[in-house]
Amino acid sequence: MFRRSKVIWNLNYKRNLNRLIAWRISTISDRSFIYFLSLLVGLFSGLAAIILKRLVYFVAEILTDWFDIDGINYWYLIYPLIGITLTVLFVKYIVKDNIGHGVSKILYSISSQSSRIKPHNSWTSMVASSLTIGFGGSVGAEAPIVLTGASIGSNLARLFKLNYKYITLMLGCGVAGAISGIFNAPIAGIVFTLEVLMLDLSMAYLIPLLISSITASILSYLFMANTEAIRYQHVHPFQIENLGYYILLGIFTGLLAFYFTRMSMFLEKLFSYIKHWGVRLIIGGVILGVLIFLFPPLWGEGYTSITTIFDGMGADLLNVSLFFAFKNDAHSVLFVLGLILIFKVFAMSVTTGSGGIGGIFAPTLFMGAIAGYFLVTLFNTFFKLGLPEDNFSLAGMAGMMAAVMHAPLTAIFLTAEITGGYGLLIPLLVTSTVAYLTIMQFEPHSIYTKRLAQRGELITHHKDKAVLHLMQAKKLIETDFEILAPNATLGDLVQAISHSNRNLFPVVDEAGILQGMVKLSDVRGIIFEPDLYPKVMVKDMMYMPEYFIAPTDNMEDVAEKFETSGRYNLAVIDDGKYLGFISRASVFSKYRKTIQDFSNE
């Protein structure tokens, strides 16, 4: 009875939805509807950002509100393990899907899944990351909320049967809204979408991004205006004579970002070798607990530590730790800060490697602030320069983000917006640019794109490559070719020619293995000599092609093979078995159709 009611409900739902879509198409223009949908995406992604922030703060406050701020807290040893355990159980038994690496997952969906993201990503990342971060996981909430926003946009667009172009646009709107909502940074939300997700959008399609980003930002302002993650009171103006030190900071953060990228990937790869999820969980939870116990600033997102530095009390980062007694010694503070920079990557990697859910936004900003404070403390301690600590910490945040994410514009605008530090725009520009140029000497891909690039699954601003990536070779296979057996005669070939519109004839054995092919132009001189029909064998006329296509080849490889070979048709062979041909004409026709669907012009 229940199953029948469910079936009836689904049928009614689909019928009503189809009526709504038909009404929308007949009464509302595409542009007006896209603007309306971008407003909805901004509302939902902004609300999701607010809910996630509240969840993280709620869990963390319950766990740490009773701590003695002047003593060592042994609960740091156990809380992270509890949080990761709850997260892993939630993912394994409720979600039953991989929801880690949010931004990389979005990039993969754009390049290989037609921008389609599973509906459960609209809420599962929020729950999982709140458990991980609330219990002290050393990661950020931004990547999970970005995946949430992208899922909201993608699934709303799919609900209304929009094409790939608009699904991708709504996905971008969800990302812009999520960034804007969680940071209250509307410009950064748009820039991140264009720079990190690498969406190739025309100016007309920036309007939906603006609508989503502004809508989410207004919600954030209304509900989280007094709960800023980072408080920055700019009191030191930029001095041109300090420009050289900002350049050094850019180089330092660029090198630190290289360490961040390579070490985090190395550590996560080590954890992937541990096959049993329970063993991974215990090892990661214990290591994280020990690291946080030794260095309490590694707890959670780290925004409290950044605010402490901005308030001019950077030495207080040694509070509630084993190094508390050394907080008044500058050399000891430098030593501890250096250890924090080294082990933050370990803390972040073991959090995600053991099953926790979170992103690199917050760890990147944290390390940038620590790096800036470390360098300026080093200069002031040994050279008595009197450089402003807060300014360099702010610039360090921008430099670190620019280098790790390969997104200097996002780093500049996000850092300026979340701190109100527009008065330091020049040092932000300088540090971010130098940091980006520095890491580009060693690492051509960001931490988000490196794995995808290694697998050849990365879509880029290069529209030609992007369109080719959206095409699939196996969908272009043509099978209307007359097939010949190796023992066939010239007479059999002539009969096949009379039935075919093609000028190629594959020769295939009983097992389906391609033995060669015969080209009409090669036998044109003898097909009009009937005396030779029973005497000349096909196997004596065939040749084996030098170039062929595998069904798993990507379209960039296919296009390159056509260009290199100069052929108009290439055989598709799977482990020697003949599947058909792909023609240059069909590739070109599909390319034109795809670029029309892909283009926003």
Read off the pLDDT of residues 531-547 as tens digits, 9 standing for 90 and up. Answer: 888 888 888 888 888 88
Task: Please check the confidence at residue 569 and state whether its pLDDT lies above 90.
Answer: no
Band the pLDDT of 566: cuts 50, 70, 90: confident
Task: Please check the confidence at residue 238 and state whether its pLDDT lies above 70.
Answer: yes
* Of 291-305, 336-350, 463-477, minimum mean pLDDT range: 463-477
Question: Rounded to two decimals, what is the model's pTM?
Answer: 0.80
- Residue 46's nearest CA partner among 228, 217, 229, 221 is 217
**Higher-confidence residue: 357 or 589?**
357
- Give the model's pLDDT for residue 327: 79
Convert the pLDDT of each residue in 378-434 to its tens digit: 999 998 888 988 899 999 999 999 999 999 999 999 888 887 767 788 999 999 999
SS3 content of the chain, % helix, strand, coil (to 5): 70, 5, 25
- Residue 187's nearest CA partner among 462, 439, 422, 423 is 422
Start-end of H helices in 196-242? 206-224
Q: Which residue is associated with the tokens 């595998």? A: 550
- Residue 78's nearest CA partner among 290, 283, 353, 348 is 290
* Of 25-29, 35-39, 303-307, 473-477, minimum mean pLDDT range: 25-29
Q: Which two tokens mark 370? A: 């620590």
- Give the model's pLDDT for residue 60: 77
Contacts of residue 236, defined as CB under 8 A and 6 or more positions apart, other chains included, come to 388, 390, 391
Whole-number mean pLDDT of the chain? 85
124 contacts 164 by C-beta, under 8 angstroms: no
Band the pLDDT of 57: cuts 50, 70, 90: confident
- Residue 136's nearest CA partner among 320, 293, 340, 324 is 293
Mean pLDDT computed over 21-28: 75
3-state secondary structure of 140: strand
Band the pLDDT of 457: cuts 50, 70, 90: low
* Of 17-21, 151-155, 442-446, 497-501, minimum mean pLDDT range: 17-21
Q: Which residue is associated with the tokens 């190629």? A: 504
- Residue 523's nearest CA partner among 536, 505, 541 is 541
CA atoms within 13 A on the CB side of 32: 6
Q: Are strands 514-519 and 569-574 parallel, antiparallel or unpaired?
A: unpaired
Domains of the chain: 28-68+100-224 (1.10.3080.10), 240-465 (1.10.3080.10), 470-598 (3.10.580.10)
159 contacts 41 by C-beta, under 8 angstroms: no
3-state secondary structure of 359: strand
130 contacts 52 by C-beta, under 8 angstroms: yes
Backbone φ/ψ region at 319: left (φ over 0), alpha (ψ -120 to 50), beta: beta
Mean pLDDT computed over 269-290: 91
3-state secondary structure of 151: helix
- Give the model's pLDDT for residue 451: 72
- Give the model's pLDDT for residue 456: 61
- Give the model's pLDDT for residue 267: 93
**Rounded-to-10 torsion of CA 450, 451, 455, 457:** -80
Cα–Cα dist 160/539, whole Å:
56
Cα–Cα dist 558/490, whole Å:
32
- Give the model's pLDDT for residue 202: 64
Mean pLDDT computed over 471-495: 85
**Higher-confidence residue: 12 or 580?**
580
Cα–Cα dist 32/201, whole Å:
18
Cα–Cα dist 262/442, whole Å:
10
Cα–Cα dist 475/456, whole Å:
19
- Give the model's pLDDT for residue 463: 59
Give the DSSP per-residue string, 520-580: HHHHTTTTT-GGGTTTSBGGGT-B--S--B-TT--HHHHHHHHHHH--SEEEEEETTEEEE
Q: Which two tokens mark 13? A: 């739902």
Highest mean pLDDT among 15-19, 41-45, 192-196, 332-336: 41-45
- Give the model's pLDDT for residue 244: 94
Burial of 259: CB neighbours in 10 Å, binned 0-12, 13-18, 19+: middle
3-state secondary structure of 90: helix
Band the pLDDT of 263: cuts 50, 70, 90: very high
Task: Please check the confidence at residue 465 and state whether its pLDDT lies above 70.
Answer: no
Terminal C-alpha separation, the chain: 51
Mean pLDDT computed over 13-37: 78
Convert the pLDDT of each residue in 59-101 to its tens digit: 877 776 665 544 567 788 898 999 999 999 999 999 988 888 7
| Secondary structure in 3-state letters for 387-403 | CCHHHHHHHHHHHHHHH
329 contacts 307 by C-beta, under 8 angstroms: no
Band the pLDDT of 601: cuts 50, 70, 90: very low
- Percent share of the chain, pLDDT over 90: 37
Mean pLDDT computed over 103-125: 84
3-state secondary structure of 143: helix
Backbone angles phi, psi at 202, to 5 degrees: -85, 170
Q: Compute CA distances 187 → 140, 212, 579, whole Å.
A: 20, 11, 51
Q: Which residue is associated with the tokens 């979005």? A: 106
Handedness of CA 251, 253, 258, 259 (dihedral sign): positive
Name residue 569's beta-bridge partners: 583
- Give the model's pLDDT for residue 69: 44
